Every structure is written in structure tokens, then in C-alpha cells.
Amino acid sequence: MATFDVVSKVNQAEVDNALLQTSKEIGTRFDFRDTSASCERTSEGIALEANSEGRVEAILEVLKGKLVKRGVSLKHVDPQKAVPGGKGLFRQLVKIKEGIDRENARKVIEVIKGSKIKVQAAIHEDTVRVSGKNRDDLQAAIALLRQQELPFEMQYVNFRE
């Protein structure tokens, strides 16, 4: 029985590199002077901070640009609402989504079952395992999933025969 897994993983090293590049850019750009602009990684995600809501949005756009250049899909980025913090600063949390939640895993399974390809799909924690009798059916399932516009980025790993 041949199988593969559908996962949604983020290369954390590339996220860290993009964050470092963003920090360097906001430190040198003239429009961020005297705005107390900063970005740092926290346990919840990435914290952006500046003296106005517009500056926080500008930092977010710089971060998104750096992530795209580093090959990280923006489907992994979940920016929260900017909120006023202490000392007149605005703060925004940007969460990095990883894994496939139950609802999206069900969407993947519905797409596969609706296609009439002779494969089975099952949810395993934050992945979807697809199994079938031959390699051609699995490759057809991968091609089908690549055509879909789903709200998360997918990778196909552990292809075994």
C-alpha cells in the first residue's frame, strides 16, 4: 500500500531570517526614525511595536515582503488587530500558523473523495495521510490538491510505496 502525508509546515529558520532582515530595515529606514519601531519573536508569534497604528502596519508590510523573498507563504501569516499598549505605543501580534486543523483536514478529505480517485484519506493529528494501491493514484491526488485554492499552504511528505 503506497502512502503520503499532506502537511502544513513553516521553515522556522527562514522566518527568523526574515525577522532579522525586517529589524535591520526598520532600524535604517528614515521613515521609522524616532518611532520606537521594533519587531521581535515571542512565544505566541512575532510582536510588532511602534508609536502609531500606521507605523505598525508599515512594519507588517516590510515583514511580509521579507517573508515572501525568503520563500515563506503568506498563508502561514495570521496578523492580529493592532492594539494600544503602554507608553503611547501600538502593538500587533503576528501568529505563524503551522499544521492542518480539523476543519481544513476535512476539506482536504472532501476534495479527495469527491474526485473519485481510488485513494483513502485519514486525519492523523495535524496531517492528512493519503493511501492507495498504486503510485499513479497518489500522484493524481497530489495533482488534484495542488489545483485547489485552500486557505493554507500544503506540502507532500513521506511518499512511500
pLDDT for the residue 69: 95
β-partners of residue 109 are none
Among 59, 75, 96, the domain boundary falls at 96
Regions of the chain short of the pLDDT cut 70: none
117 and 45 within one domain:
no
At residue 139, the pLDDT reads: 93
Point out the domain boundary residue: 52, 68, 96: 96
- 83 in the same domain as 23: yes
Q: Indicate if 17 and 86 belong to the same structural domain.
A: yes
CA–CA separation, 17 vs 83, rounded Å? Answer: 26
DSSP per-residue codes, 84-139: E-GGG-EEEEEEE--S--HHHHHHHHHHHHHTT-SEEEEEETTEEEEEESSHHHHH
Are residue 64 and residue 26 in the same domain, yes or no?
yes
Burial class (CB in 10 A: 0-12, 13-18, 19+), 8: buried
Residues 66 and 116 in one domain: no
Same domain, yes or no: 104 and 92: no
| Domain region containing 19 | 12-96
Q: Does one domain contain both 26 and 88?
A: yes
Put simply, whether the predicted model's pTM sits higher than 0.95 gets the answer no
Domain shared by 17 and 85, yes or no? yes
Kindly state whether residues 107 and 92 are assigned to the same domain. Answer: no
Count of the separate structural domains present in the chain: 2
CATH number of the domain where residue 26 is located: 3.30.70.990
Same domain? For 87 and 115 the reply is no
Q: Give the domain CATH number at 132.
A: 3.30.70.860
Given the C-alpha cell 515582503, which residue does it identify? 65
Residues 16 and 81 in one domain: yes
Please check whether residues 91 and 118 belong to one and the same domain. no
pLDDT of residue 9: 93
